[in-house]
């Protein structure tokens, strides 16, 4: 059960009065990826009193952590998060200003500290920590830019009196470091805010760490999406894969094609206006999260047909149209005309370098029934191989999207059906059956891959299923070192068939946290007991 | 046009007619929940034998009221005659594995009323925590609750739950599960639990309630005296499930007792010995009891009006158990196929819906002994953050 104040490290209060020479390391977690000394250091080498380790609530576990028993206290009325000397970012950096306020609130806002009732400093043994200074090292901090696949999320954190320092090449690392710092600050039994002297060097193992939400099967109100972005930031996720439209509904309000949502959304108030979309993108940006929209075609498009006539393939039965429709019609020029316009809008609305184009689960039966399509197949010499038709369509879309200088993400079928992909296309591997083999194939073909197959979190089950997500090793497939490098990360997917705002949060979290650590932390961070110890604190803190 | 609904004079009142007096009582297993609802041009009448039926009828009435595209409220002409197939339709909440704040319990009672549930089975204490604030034994929650200040149900909280439930026609049946599932009782009641042994010395750990010492029965008498007063329903759930014999077996005093009593190596007899005395105590307090199926399975002597709660579900064995229980002449409650804590992907409500409680082999007299069933939401993985979407 979670103590009401979510006091993660009450036992740390036991260490009151201990003044230890800094060189004596009583608690050390050396998990630097480069230090491959062979055996995992034995827990007995560094066990602290009971399980009072200050890193007992760090999630995801940083690459390299060193904590000391010496503690510093923080006074909410005096403690400040500031820009350090030499930082290329300053008060004009809105992103950091916003983060300072947010993290201050996370650390101190929960407990109703009073500004009166000041106790003289001498009454406590611990020195006071007055500031966390944030220093951005790169010449151009990136304050006003959007995070990208190549963004640098590394940071160095040194917590020592009188001032702690957080150094990061770019603001994205500073955001990650602020989250970690906030996880180190804890309250003791008396309500005092303490932090152990620590040193942390951290960076993510994988650059693409995402969460997929599906707003078509069930509409998700803005609040749900924003709350989820907060939770993602707590777990250092950096990609929000917005599967925004699908068969069931089209909530995206398009500027060029307003009929799409007018006719395709569940109802007129269950839409995302351009303002809503901007809000999501900016809210995400301030948390270092990229928003990759997915406009899945040619399958999964029933709702598109409501607002866009002559886009979907009319299905036939015995020479007559049945009145129902199938995937996007790949043989009409108007299809590509529409897509050119549509993706022009998408490319300008969504600033990320990548757009997800879907391409999964295309049902060929409607195409097979349509005489025009059959005619086209003959003309193109595709025979009866409809995968070729699908690839023909997909390639056209890829070209269209490329012309807008956007990179493309696709589901694995696009690769499996042998479409011609650009070298920097990202293939999302989602089919659970033998996904290791698929990773080998995709990376073997020189393409980058993102893994989702073992992380379909919509597949709920009884008990602690977070363990099975945690135990996945994304690089466990046969391939060269070069191939392994092509796996840029993964995504936890929460498909919406059985999910809406009433159950999203408890279903996704903290199960997705397991994926978050797997994608950020070092590959040798696999101990389930240790993970459980940290995860239970982390989960209560997230609440 | 022919098919357009004709808007008759707006209905201004639903008349509620109850034939048996008594608004201040508590619902019971025998309460009549039948009602008749008649909505016609000029009059809307809900008539029921008791206030409990009126509550059910009000819920139904509220479900009939619709709203059209213009926002106008309307109701179709309707005739309804309704009564429950089973008199015991319950929901179990577990407030020991995870504490549930009062508001979560009250909210659940509301939704139960929407679904015409009429029994709240409050599995209030268990191994992990003891949140029930006892006036006779305050140490139980002081030492046994997750946090004695914040994770407890005060006497006032309990009264609130009972009254909130009563107003919705819901009985509150408290379960104080013994002799197993009692680890949290230990800290506040030294000497109650069996000390486990490692060879000749105590291991420091504890097991089920110690059945061989008189102090146990003194304690149990006092506790259930209080519980019987606090909870007005005629029935108490006494648990009796999953008693782990390992600790008893390790304890030399218990082994000696087993020999003395001629129980041999059959610890089920020891369990029965305890349960027997517990049932007698509770009977003498004027309460009826419900027990988990093990108590029946282990051949404990039971009063004829005991209700056996069937919960074990390995390969549809529960139907056999239902047959056995009813053949022996006892009343039965079914929960086995309705462990809603066991979540799974997709529309699993369908499996729960397909269950037919009476589809076991037996004569009509047996079938008549099935009082109903309970959906169980055990709390190992459930707290206030996910209770509602998991349950409903």
Chain A residue closest in CA terms to B96:
A1
A446 phi-psi bin (left φ>0, alpha ψ -120 to 50, beta other): left
Say if B348 is an interface residue toward chain A (CB within 8 Å): no
Rg (CA), chain A: 26
Catalytic residues of B: 242
Say if A543 is an interface residue toward chain B (CB within 8 Å): yes
Q: Give the fold, CATH level 3, of B88-391.
A: TIM Barrel (3.20.20)
Residue B226: strand, helix, or coil: helix
Give the Cα separation of B31 and B49 in Å (integer): 10
Distance in Å from the first CA to the final CA of chain B? 41
Shortest distance between the Cα of A526 and any Cα of chain B, in A, equals 23
**Are A462 and B147 a contacting pair at CB < 8 A?**
no
> For residue A543, which residues of chain B lie inside 8 Å, CB to CB?
385
- Look at chain B and count its residues: 392
Domain ranges of chain A: 54-110+125-202, 208-542
Given a contact cutoff of 8 angstroms between Cβ atoms, the answer to whether A278 and A226 are in contact is no
Cβ partners under 8 Å of residue B318, min gap 6:
B310, B311, B312, B334, B336, B337
Shortest distance between the Cα of B82 and any Cα of chain A, in A, equals 32
**Are A462 and B381 a contacting pair at CB < 8 A?**
yes
Q: What is the pTM of this model?
A: 0.90
- Among B290, B302, B297, which residue's Cα sits nearest to residue B335? B290
Q: Using CA atoms of A440, A441, A443, A444 in order, give the dihedral in degrees to the nearest 10.
A: 100
Say if A124 is an interface residue toward chain B (CB within 8 Å): no
Place of tokens 């994608």: A519
> For residue A4, which residues of chain B lie inside 8 Å, CB to CB?
147, 150
Given a contact cutoff of 8 angstroms between Cβ atoms, the answer to whether B282 and B224 are in contact is yes
CATH 3.30.379.10 residue ranges for chain B = 15-82
Q: How many degrees, rounded to 5, is the angle at CA A453 between CA A449 and CA A454?
A: 125
Identify the burial level of B391 via C-beta atoms within 10 angstroms of its C-beta, where 0-12 means exposed, 13-18 middle and 19 or more buried. middle
pLDDT in tens, A284-336: 999 999 999 999 999 999 999 999 999 999 999 988 999 999 999 999 999 99
- Look at chain A and count its residues: 543
Upstream peptide bond of A235 is cis (omega within 30 degrees of 0): no
> For residue A493, which residues of chain B lie inside 8 Å, CB to CB?
none
- Asked whether this chain's domains A54-110+125-202 and A208-542 adopt the same fold, the reply is no
Identify the burial level of B62 via C-beta atoms within 10 angstroms of its C-beta, where 0-12 means exposed, 13-18 middle and 19 or more buried. exposed
A271, HSE (Cβ side, Cα atoms, 13 Å): 19
- Among A270, A182, A190, which residue's Cα sits nearest to residue A230? A182
**Are A502 and B147 a contacting pair at CB < 8 A?**
no
Chain A and chain B share a number of CB contacts under 8 A equal to 46
Cβ partners under 8 Å of residue A34, min gap 6:
none
Domain boundaries B15-82, corresponding CATH code: 3.30.379.10
pLDDT in tens, chain A (543 residues): 444 333 333 333 333 333 333 333 333 333 222 222 333 333 333 333 344 567 889 999 999 999 999 999 999 989 999 999 999 999 999 999 999 999 999 999 865 555 555 666 556 688 999 999 999 999 998 999 999 999 999 999 999 988 999 999 999 999 999 999 999 999 988 889 999 999 999 999 999 999 999 999 999 999 999 999 999 999 999 999 999 999 999 999 999 999 999 999 999 999 999 999 999 999 999 999 999 999 999 999 999 999 999 999 999 998 899 999 999 999 999 999 999 999 999 999 999 999 999 999 999 999 999 999 999 999 999 999 999 999 999 999 999 999 999 999 999 999 999 999 999 999 999 999 999 999 999 999 999 999 999 999 999 999 999 999 999 999 999 999 999 999 999 999 999 999 999 999 999 999 999 999 999 999 999 999 999 999 999 999 999
**Are B147 and A3 a contacting pair at CB < 8 A?**
yes
**Full DSSP string of A348-399:** HH--SSEEEEE------HHHHH-HHHHHHHHHHT-TT-HHHHHHHHHHHHHH
Q: In chain A, what are the helix, strand and coil shares in percent, each to the nearest 5? A: 35, 20, 45
Chain B residue closest in CA terms to A496:
B346
Shortest distance between the Cα of B101 and any Cα of chain A, in A, equals 12
> For residue B346, which residues of chain A lie inside 8 Å, CB to CB?
497-498
Shortest distance between the Cα of B341 and any Cα of chain A, in A, equals 7
> For residue B342, which residues of chain A lie inside 8 Å, CB to CB?
462
Q: How many degrees, rounded to 5, is the angle at CA A198 between CA A197 and CA A203?
A: 160
Q: Of the candidates A4, A462, A463, which has its C-beta nearest B150's C-beta?
A: A4
Distance of CA B211 to the CA centre of its chain: 25
CATH of A208-542, one of 1.10.150.110, 3.90.1150.10, 3.20.20.80, 3.30.450.40: 3.20.20.80
**Are A502 and B99 a contacting pair at CB < 8 A?**
no
Upstream peptide bond of A298 is cis (omega within 30 degrees of 0): yes
Say if A115 is an interface residue toward chain B (CB within 8 Å): no
pLDDT in tens, A386-437: 999 999 999 999 999 999 999 999 999 999 999 999 999 999 999 999 999 9
Say if B390 is an interface residue toward chain A (CB within 8 Å): yes
B41, HSE (Cβ side, Cα atoms, 13 Å): 5
Please, what are the averages of pLDDT over each run of 10 residues along chain B (392 residues)? 56 92 93 97 94 98 95 95 98 98 98 98 98 97 96 97 98 98 98 96 96 98 98 97 96 97 94 94 96 94 91 90 97 98 97 97 97 98 97 98
**Are A462 and B388 a contacting pair at CB < 8 A?**
no
Q: What are the beta bridge partners of residue A316?
A: A321
A170 given a catalytic annotation:
no
Q: What is the ipTM of this complex?
A: 0.89
- Among A450, A448, A467, A469, which residue's Cα sits nearest to residue A458? A469
pLDDT value at residue A117: 57
Say if A498 is an interface residue toward chain B (CB within 8 Å): yes
Listed in order, strand segments (DSSP E) in A169-218 are: 186-187, 193-202, 208-214
User: What are the backbone dihedrals phi and psi of residue B310, each rounded to the nearest 5 degrees, phi first?
Assistant: -85, 120
Residue A323 has a CB neighbour count (10 Å cut-off) of: 8
**Full DSSP string of A190-202:** TS-EEEEEEEEEE
Within the 126-145 window of chain B, which residues sit less than 8 Å (CB to CB) from chain A?
128-129
> For residue B98, which residues of chain A lie inside 8 Å, CB to CB?
1
Q: Does domain A54-110+125-202 have CATH number 3.30.379.10?
A: yes
Identify the burial level of A298 via C-beta atoms within 10 angstroms of its C-beta, where 0-12 means exposed, 13-18 middle and 19 or more buried. buried
Give the Cα separation of B205 and A445 in Å (integer): 59
**Are A507 and B347 a contacting pair at CB < 8 A?**
no
Q: What single-letter DSSP state applies at residue B265?
A: T
Place of tokens 């949502």: A261
Given a contact cutoff of 8 angstroms between Cβ atoms, the answer to whether A327 and A297 are in contact is yes
Given a contact cutoff of 8 angstroms between Cβ atoms, the answer to whether B96 and B131 are in contact is yes
């Amino acid at each position: 059960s979670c103590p009401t104040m979510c006091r993660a490290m009450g036992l740390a209060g036991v260490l009151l009065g201990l003044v230890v020479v800094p060189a004596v390391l009583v608690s050390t977690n050396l998990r630097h990826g480069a230090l491959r000394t062979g055996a995992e250091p034995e827990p007995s080498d560094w066990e602290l009193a009971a399980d009072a380790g200050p890193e007992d609530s760090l999630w995801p576990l940083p690459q390299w952590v060193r904590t000391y028993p010496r503690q510093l206290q923080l006074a909410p009325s005096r403690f400040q998060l500031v820009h350090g000397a030499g930082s290329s970012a300053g008060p004009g950096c809105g992103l950091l200003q916003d983060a300072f306020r947010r993290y201050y609130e996370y650390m101190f806002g929960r407990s109703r500290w009073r500004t009166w009732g000041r106790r003289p400093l001498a009454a406590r043994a611990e020195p006071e920590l007055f500031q966390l200074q944030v220093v951005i090292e790169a010449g151009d901090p990136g304050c006003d830019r959007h995070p990208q696949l190549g963004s640098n999320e590394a940071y160095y954190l040194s917590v020592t009196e009188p001032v702690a320092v957080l150094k990061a090449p770019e603001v994205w690392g500073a955001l990650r470091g602020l989250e970690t710092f906030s996880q180190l600050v804890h309250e003791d039994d008396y309500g005092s805010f303490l932090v152990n002297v620590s040193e942390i060097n951290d960076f993510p193992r994988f650059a693409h760490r995402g969460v997929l939400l599906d707003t078509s099967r069930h509409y998700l109100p803005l609040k749900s999406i924003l709350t989820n972005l907060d939770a993602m930031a707590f777990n250092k996720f950096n990609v929000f894969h917005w599967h925004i439209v699908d068969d069931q509904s089209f909530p995206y309000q398009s500027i060029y094609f307003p009929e799409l949502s007018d006719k395709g959304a569940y109802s007129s108030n269950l839409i995302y206006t351009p303002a809503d979309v901007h809000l999501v993108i900016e809210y995400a940006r301030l948390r270092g999260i990229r928003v990759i929209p997915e406009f899945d075609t040619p399958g999964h498009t029933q709702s598109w047909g409501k607002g866009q006539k002559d886009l979907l393939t009319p299905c036939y039965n015995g020479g007559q149209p049945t009145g129902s429709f199938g995937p996007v019609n790949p043989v009409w020029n108007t299809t590509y005309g529409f897509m050119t316009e549509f993706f022009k809008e998408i490319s300008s609305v969504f600033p990320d370098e990548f757009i997800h184009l879907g391409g999964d689960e295309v049902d060929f039966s409607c195409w097979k029934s349509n005489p025009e399509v059959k005619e086209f197949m003959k003309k193109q010499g595709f025979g009866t191989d409809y995968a070729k038709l699908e690839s023909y369509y997909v390639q056209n879309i890829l070209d269209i999207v490329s012309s807008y200088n956007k990179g493309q993400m696709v589901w694995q079928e696009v690769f499996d059906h042998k479409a011609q992909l650009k070298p920097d296309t990202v293939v999302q591997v989602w089919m659970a059956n033998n996904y290791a083999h698929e990773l080998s194939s995709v990376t073997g073909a020189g393409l980058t891959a993102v893994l989702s197959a073992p992380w379909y979190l919509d597949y709920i089950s009884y008990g602690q299923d977070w363990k099975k997500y945690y135990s996945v090793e994304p690089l466990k497939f046969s391939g060269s070192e070069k191939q392994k490098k092509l796996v840029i990360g993964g995504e936890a997917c929460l498909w919406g068939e059985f999910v809406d705002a009433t159950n999203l949060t408890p279903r996704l979290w903290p199960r997705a946290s397991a994926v978050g650590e797997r994608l950020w932390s070092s590959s040798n961070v696999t101990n389930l007991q240790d993970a459980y110890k940290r995860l239970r604190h982390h989960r209560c803190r997230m609440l | 046009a022919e098919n357009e609904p004709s808007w008759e004079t707006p209905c201004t009142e639903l008349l509620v007619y109850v034939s048996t007096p008594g608004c201040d009582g508590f619902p019971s297993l025998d309460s009549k929940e039948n009602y008749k609802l008649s909505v016609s041009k000029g009059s809307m009448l809900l008539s029921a034998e008791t206030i409990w039926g009126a509550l059910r009828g009000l819920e139904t009435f509220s479900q009939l009221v619709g709203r059209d595209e213009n926002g106008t409220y309307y109701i179709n002409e309707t005739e309804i005659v309704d009564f429950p197939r089973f008199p015991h339709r319950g929901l179990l909440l577990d407030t020991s594995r995870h504490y549930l704040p009062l508001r979560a319990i009250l909210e659940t009672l509301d939704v139960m009323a929407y679904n015409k549930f009429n029994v709240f089975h409050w599995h209030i204490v268990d191994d992990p925590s003891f949140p029930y604030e006892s006036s006779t034994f305050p140490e139980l929650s002081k030492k046994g609750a997750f946090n004695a200040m914040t994770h407890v149900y005060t006497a006032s909280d309990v009264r609130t739950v009972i009254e909130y439930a009563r107003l919705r026609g819901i009985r509150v049946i408290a379960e104080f599960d013994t002799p197993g599932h009692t680890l949290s009782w230990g800290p506040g009641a030294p000497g109650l639990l069996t000390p486990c042994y490692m060879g000749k010395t105590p291991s420091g750990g504890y097991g089920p309630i110690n059945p061989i010492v008189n102090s146990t029965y003194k304690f149990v008498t006092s506790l259930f005296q209080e519980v019987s007063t606090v909870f007005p329903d005629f029935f108490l759930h006494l648990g009796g499930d999953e008693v782990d014999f390992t600790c008893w077996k390790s304890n030399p005093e218990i082994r000696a007792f087993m020999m003395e009593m001629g129980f041999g190596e059959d610890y089920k007899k020891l369990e029965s010995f305890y349960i027997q005395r517990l049932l007698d105590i509770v009977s003498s307090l004027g309460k009826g009891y419900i027990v988990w199926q093990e108590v029946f399975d282990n051949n404990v002597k039971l009063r004829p009006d005991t209700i056996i709660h069937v919960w074990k579900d390995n390969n549809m064995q529960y139907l056999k158990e239902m047959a056995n229980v009813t053949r022996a002449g006892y009343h039965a409650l079914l929960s086995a196929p309705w462990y809603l804590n066991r979540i799974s992907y997709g529309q699993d409500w369908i499996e729960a819906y397909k269950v037919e409680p009476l589809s076991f082999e037996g004569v009509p007299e047996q079938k008549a002994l099935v009082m109903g069933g309970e959906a169980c939401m055990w709390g190992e993985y459930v707290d206030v953050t996910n209770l509602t979407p998991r349950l409903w």
